[in-house]
Structure 1
Amino acid sequence: MPRSAAPVPVGLLGVILTVGGSPALASPDAADWSEAVIEPLERAAAAFSTGLRERLARMGAAGLDLDLLWSTLAAAGWPPAKLLAGIVAVVAAGLAAHWATARALGAATRRRDTSIVRAAVSAVAALGVGLVVAYLVAGEAEAARRTFRTWAFVIPLAALASTLIGATIVAASPAARRKRLAPLANGLAAAVAWALGGIAVLRTLAAWGAGSGLQDLVGTAFVALPTAGLMITAYAGSRRPLAATLAGPRPRSRRRRFLARRWPAIAVGIVVVTVVVLQVATTLGRPLPSLATLVTLILALMWPHVDGLIVVWAERGFRAETVSAASVAARRTTRLALAALIGAALAAMWGAPAASGLGIQLGTLVRVTLGITAVALATAYLWNLVGVASDRLLSEERAAQGGHHADEEADPAPHTRLGTILPLVVGASKAGLATLAVLSILLAVGINVWPLVTGLSVFGLAIGFGSQSLVKDVVSGLFFLADDAFRLGEYIETVGAKGRVEKISIRSVSLRHPRGALATIPYGQIGKVQNYSCDWVIEKLAFRVAFDTDVDKVRKIFKQIGQDIADNPDLKPDILETFKSQGIASVDEGTLVIRGKFKARAGHQFAIRKATLAAVQQAFQTNGISAIARPIVTYAPQNQDK
């Protein structure tokens, strides 16, 4: 009896199984993979292939659609010439109204900050005049009314978009780059105007019942591709000035520099992806709304420019002493508010229809979204307020320390007590804000967080009892900081290590040894602390001279050297007591050891010491005083002969 033939695998999976011939590929896991991934992909490819063939066939019949459109227009009493004349009349009326209003407002005021308001008023005037002319020329035909009303919006929207793009890209840029960025703004404005005109053409065709093939051909060949070409050309010709502008003023963060250098390529990619998605959706029979797509594209392209404006605005307020920390925090929070506004616009255009299709109640979705947004904005404002206040305090500290001279070989000046404790307080505050924000968002979503809070409390209590050394370190650190035992930048010595305080955390302190080694010591193991950078330091210098040296002359020389160094404007702020002689310290091997000393601010004695030694050497040479080296004592071998 012949065996039954095995079923032949179909599609991409069948090719893999046939070519591979491996039993592992025919396992149940392979069948699950086929059902979950391969088969949906094959169905999507088949649907795309079918849709592309049908779409090309419809485009091929665009000539017949055009003939049918002419017949429809003639039957309705609107031949093409008459319809075109009406469109020209509406557009010309709107253009004239816009130009006249802008000119009148421009003559009344010349202030630059009114340009956007002037553009908005001119757009409203153009829209009103355009709608009036559209009503007058449309007659009784409903299709003509829809057509002319559509074209009445083209001039106002194009003019307003051009003004906003120019204000965002050119007017807000540094004066040196405005001329180089003008082609980008003009190119994007031209692309938006072309797209708006194309959308009006498509709606005109739809209003008069044009065939889908003609609409598809016009939308692809005369709207989407030219608009994308204008935008890509504009970005390609302004790569360098655009990157320099988006990077913002110095100092620039690494993330912003990275985004600025790559934004022209990212923008071109966004345009290309938008066109591809439009074509794929049309091919699959689910065309995207053209106006919503254009608005989304403009928001995506303009977002970095508006964000850069907010960054410059906030930084200007931070540097101005007259602007309060609360105002600066509000300016910085505007960045998140802008992102929330863009997200709300995109959700209204795309999310609402999708939610309705999925059966989600829009009221509930809006309420939850508003709650999350309110929590995020409040947290961002408090976060920025803490950051602005701490940054201003630290900036004042750095400015106060920057006025003092620092030698190349000297270590950086220690921080103040505020500069040491403030970063820890800021970090703890921001961590608390982030925790509260997460819990509030979970509550807004509808999740009961109290069992989670209780569990975390019990868990933290268990850690506290089980980690006594950790608790000891944290508590000891709090007392060390409260006693002001050391600060960032100070040189200290503990029981186990010594070095300059480089980092202070909630549990340990990190000391950088002069040779470069970094020691991290928990607070509980520090023990006694010797601080060599606290307040002031006395530097003592010893000089060995001949026994017959005039000590009184040396005293006068040292006094003059101290006065000369004190008159040095770079060293004077760090000198607490001038260099002077202490007389003969000792007599060693027939030489005199004369000692001098000075008192200086801790950490700033090195430059003074260097200048003092150089001045003493020069003075000894000028006055004939000889410095004697330390005698070397040698012992002669004893004679062993008796």
Structure 2
Amino acid sequence: MALHFLRRMAPWAIAFLLILGLDQVLPPSPGRTLALIVGYLALCGRTLSVIVECVVSVFTRGHRFVAVQILQQQGLRMLFLIGALIALGDALNAARLSWIVGEELAALGSSLANMLAALLTLRFITKFKRPIKHLIRNRAWRVRREGGTTVELARIVAKLWHIPALLLVVVSLLAIFITVGDVGTALARSVISAALLILTLVVTGLMQRHSERRAKRRRISEYRRRLERVGYALSHMLTWVVFAELSMQVWGGSLFGLGQQGMAGVGIGQALLALGFTILLAWLAWIFADTAIQRALMSSARSRGRRVNQARAQTITPMIRNVIFATIVIIAVIVGLANLGVNVTPLLAGAGVIGLAVGFGAQTLVQDLITGIFIIVEDSLAVDDFVEINGHMGTVEGLTLRTVRLRDLDGILHIITFSAIQSIHNMSRHFGIALMRIRIPHTMKIDDAITLMQETAQELRQDPVMRHHIWSPLEMQGIDRFDEGAAVLRMRFRTAPVMQWDVARAFNLLLKQRMESQGLDLGLPRLSVSMEGVPGDTLTDRGRDEPAPPRDAKGRAPGEAGIADLEGSLNPQRASPDSS
């Protein structure tokens, strides 16, 4: 590397030495001074570019070769120009050149040169951020496999190297225009600030990496997980607060009035500390409350033997979380204002009056809200449940804080307030029962009928569509009743929720197909007709071939009681009840 540096720098150094020799021989003139300046600028620019080239050439192995190639092909010219501009600014500050050009013009030229150098440096950092990141980060496979703090530190520095570099350049650029002492003091302060920033970024990066590693470890309780997140967040905040305080101390200020004689700064610092402590307590209270809500929902759903209903969680969780969050925020704001010296008594009195007015003016609304909270918390309803509410049967399409939207079987949408609900019949929980009552033909034996039902049920359970919805074998409950002389068998399946009707219809269809294939028919109702004669009239009173006289429904012959005979005449004597 030393030979490479000498080989690249020797011609430029020799040329500059020749210019210095000619400067000693030739008489003073503007051309001699200009030649000396040009040689000095070229030597400084070449030195910067060759130093960077030699440093990056060390990383030419493995995956870093492409990054080195990009820097060598595209970055050396920009580095040469940056070094030349820096040298020009330094040269214009020299007493000899200032006397020749003029102090004001030399100062203006030096400022412009330094400003251009800073702008080009910003451009270089943003353009080559990714290649330099690869140079810092990439390591051999053996080193990466072993890991360790060095590898983690290299990853963090590679990810964040451009931030302190940009800060250093920006502060140097501002030091040219803002009067904060001399430029050297400003640059020294900026270097210290950049070093503090690098240290802060490294510390926060290590904490972030440690938190990610702990998150991938074994399962822990939700309370511990969230408290660890709070601890890491507070560590990050504390690190940045320390950075801000140290940086302000470097530039002659203070964030909390530490080390200052003024009492105002101390008072403001104490108020900020009290406000921060209040925010921390409110944050912890919110974490415990939110975690308790989530654990209660999970345990409630698991105790019922069913998975957590996503729609229910989306309905109830935002409602309770918003109420608790608003309560914690209001209390924290009141306490924070009290810590800042604000009189909060009028605020509390006004809030009490507003609460009473709302409570008396919206009693029905409050009743709907309270009833809805209990219904949702008890998990009596959820979106997509099939229920019967107040005589309306259908699917729950949505739940709000005050109403439930129910779509019935006719497609009508019913919007029912929670306070109007008298009873809830939920048919979507845990399981369903597909109940079938089958009338058995009169000519079929009961044992054959039971065998037919069992075979039909077994075939249905093997169906690729219905087998996932049937959760138990066919339960034969026996003869339910005798309907018009035919036995009615009662049987049932345990099914998935809301699938009991589909299973029952599929069973009836398959049973009908099997009975048709076997030439059987269902037990139809039978009508028995019996013929009776007139009291006292027997078939032996007349001959078998002699037709019986026509009589009416009461057994009366024609002419009796004023009824016309077949020939169309009336018999008044027989028609009269008083005739002898």
Instruction: Compute the TM-score of the two structures, normalised by the length of structure 1.
Output: 0.46
Q: Which has the larger radius of gyration?
A: 2
- The answer to which structure has the higher helix fraction is 1
Instruction: Compute the TM-score of the two structures, normalised by the length of structure 2.
Output: 0.50
Ranked by relative contact order (alpha carbons within 8 Å, sequence separation 6 or more), the top structure is: 1
